[in-house]
Structure 1
Amino acid sequence: MSAARSAPYRRAARGVLRWCFWYTRGLPADVAADRQDELASDLHEHAEWAAERGVSGARLAREIRFRALRGAPADLAWRAARVRAADPVVRFELRADAALTAFLLVIAVAFTALGGFVLVRAVRAVVREDIGDLPSAVVPVAVLTALALAATVLLLRRRSRIAGALVLIVPVVLLLQPAGDLLWRVSASTVVVFFFAPWWTTAAAIASVGLAVCCLAAAAHWWTRQRRTARLARVALTERKALSNV
Structure 2
Amino acid sequence: MRASGRALRQRLAAMAGSGDAAGLAEAALLLACLERGDDPAPGLAVLQPLTRGLAAGTGLDAPARAGLLVEHLFVGHGFHGGGDEDEPDLAWLLEHRRGGPEALGILWLEAARGAGWSAEALAFPAHFLVRLTDDSGGRAIIDPSGGGRVLEPPDLRTLMKLRTGLAAEMTPDLFRPLSDRQILLRLQNEAKLRHLRRGDVSAALAAVEAALLFAPDQDLLWREAGLMHMRLDHLAAAVAALEQFIARTGSGPARLRTQQLVQEIRARMG
Fold-level similarity (TM above 0.5): no
Give the structure with the higher percent strand: 2
Higher RCO structure (Cα 8 Å, ≥6 apart)? 1
Give the structure with the higher percent helix: 1
Q: Structure 1 length as normaliser, TM-score?
A: 0.27
